[in-house]
Amino acid sequence: MEELLEKLKKKKIKFEIREREEGVKKKEKRRTILVHTPRKILRDTVKMLIETSEDFPHFSVCSFTDCGDHVELNYHFSVGYGKPLKETNIILRVTLKKDDLKVPTLTDLIPATILSEREIKEMTGIEIENIPDGRHMFLTKDFPDGVYPWRRDETAPKETRKLYEVWK
């Protein structure tokens, strides 16, 4: 873990460490490191993560926030698992401008990212460069183009009805 932080500092990549205390009799700290990763060094940062972790970084999921003029894309990883109390959450946050929604694929580095990349593509409209499989993941094949359920702008679904209204 320390090795990764050293490398991040060396490359002048900004990060924040967050801790929250858990437990009743024994207090333990749940640690999260939020790394502000510019898009152009996303792949290098993931490579760094692979090099410095003992087993292999565990990829959980991608989350997304629409903040108006820009969007936040978070890659949730965890490293140091397998040993009691040694696990740390790592969030790689990529901030993208609304008129330039593109990120490179990570599937060749971490195969498990494919499902999340497919989900991000269909739910948010972010283009994943060189994605090996660009099919829909959760939305049906006939879901309209240009409608992105996780967005909060004009591309968000407009006509949403409650279940009982569907039958009318």
Interface residues toward other proteins, by CB under 8 A: 20, 22-28, 30-32, 55-56, 58-66, 74, 76, 78, 80-89, 91, 110-112, 114-115, 136-141, 149-150, 157, 160
> Longest C-alpha distance within the chain, in Å?
62
Tally Cβ neighbours within 10 Å of residue 53.
Answer: 20
Nearer to other proteins, 15 or 81 (CB): 81
Tokens of 123: 């739910």
Percent of the chain that is helix, strand, coil (3-state, to 5): 25, 30, 45
Nearer to other proteins, 40 or 83 (CB): 83
Which position has the token pair 């939020």?
34
CB 40, min distance to other proteins, A = 24
Nearer to other proteins, 10 or 26 (CB): 26
CB 10, min distance to other proteins, A = 26
35 sits in the region (left: phi over 0; alpha: psi -120 to 50; else beta) called beta
CB 138, min distance to other proteins, A = 5
Nearer to other proteins, 38 or 50 (CB): 50
CB 160, min distance to other proteins, A = 8
Tokens of 64: 């997304």
Nearer to other proteins, 5 or 66 (CB): 66
Identify the CA nearest to 41 among candidates 13, 74, 21, 80: 13
Residue pair 117/133 in contact by the 8 Å Cβ criterion: no
Which position has the token pair 């502000």?
36
CB 120, min distance to other proteins, A = 10
